Structure 1
């Protein structure tokens, strides 16, 4: 039989005080004599009583709970970001309410769940998928902070990596390494960060190469190499999708000499396919660049050049927005903050050392 939870009535009876005295004893600013507070706390310890926060929430209208929306935790980047967010929130006196969604890209699926809890704010590494979702999130009338989302609006702020500039830097490295057949391995189509990285990469290469789909088709069907085709492969941010996309490309007898991947997990998968199915060595035959700087990328088997999103900077920016939103008299915030990614150079681009300026 399940025991009934200990209540403030039980504590009051054991301590020989009123129930309101128990409430005051657990309120630091309440008026109560030191002797009575000590008697109440002693009784509470005897009964292993923990006060409920619900009455304080109902009185103040503030729970100090922050809804943290997660998905795609198979990617070490998201797991690391979640840990840093949780640590920062707890250090600032907030409680974390974790909400998991199956869709690793959008928080659309979490809206109904969010509406049923009295959270004071939402933080998510998942992007807002549609304008309708952004409007529905604004209607909750609480601060919402998203990472790498293209939508902003009333109460919605976004903190992004400088994805487009990083894509341009990846193109610069490939030019310096003498790459003739660059390949872009994209994340899911709805991934706004992946699209921005692609734009930066393609735009920078367009300045030095004619992007012509006929040339790409020629490279895939002819033994005579064509100058500067830029081939795009589709992945879904997983190791398996990177492996499969590269394996399928090699099966079509195309040999890339440069690969930029939307994230590190796909880059690791693609590197394994290059070795196992193409007999190609990195960086001797192919240089590879990833994004996120996950721990696996530094493993000896990959030694992957990548862009570090500097998660600590992203989280610091989120906490600044959150603290500003809770200042007395604060109005609804809508900010867009860009945090510069840091290039981490490793052996996968060692054909020629990139000149970073």
Structure 2
């Protein structure tokens, strides 16, 4: 736990004096107050994180965490687990949806293997952080041990540490790949909120009514069997989660500790962010919700963390796609704060009196 605890201890409040200064500049700009909606508080939040009114998000990276899930054996997904390593290779080769959308946003994509049931070549240019080849089936046993849960979180923290050590990182987007991983993600928000899985569980990759009903039963069985402690995020992760979800939590914690803004993608990335939030509520100051997906549980995650999603594009893909698209809005937010002139700067007198 030492690495995790030390990382949490390093998370500080952003520069609130700079945030106040940013809000004042926004109020003084030559336009109606509040007329640029949520881009205004976003720009002030970024200013507080970066300690400047002129924020530049030049070095963008999406980190897509991958892992397999034992619960897939319960028939909760349309796709077989063999797709997970195939998609990792697609990400590396630049041919996936996230690669295309990240290029449009000026971001690079890197993949992290946290628990894929496949032996990748050590030379493959990914973060090799495998905890184990897939989680256990949580309808039978806990998804992982507590030590493995902590190891997965620490792996995400280490990725951020390595990125910072090797060069500048201005913003991180989180993404996922793992067949069946909407099931543990829905189970996680059910465990924290106490809300019935029937209200939280969506169709993932597009399952039919029969598979959806089975998916809900599977989550209910896991909750009843393990009774995860909602006051212990590591317990929830270990009993119901995924190695990539732990890695995603670590990315958020590591980013906050390094004062790097982080944009979470869909329900799986947000499940990781929720684990991080339950461990260290201070990460909220560094966290942005890229979008709201069609997955029912995603809304409950946002509400629990008091996050307003930047977009609602009816995405249900994952990979980091929503985060990549949201990068463009965050770029826009930085420019409205820095470049829109104030009434004083353009010599407009008594404009709002």
The TM-score with structure 1 as length reference comes to 0.28
Please tell me whether Structure 1 or Structure 2 has the larger radius of gyration of its CA atoms: 1
- Higher share in strand: 1
Structure with larger RCO (C-alpha < 8 A, sep 6+): 2
Q: Normalising to structure 2: TM-score of the pair? A: 0.28
Which protein is richer in helix relative to its size? 2
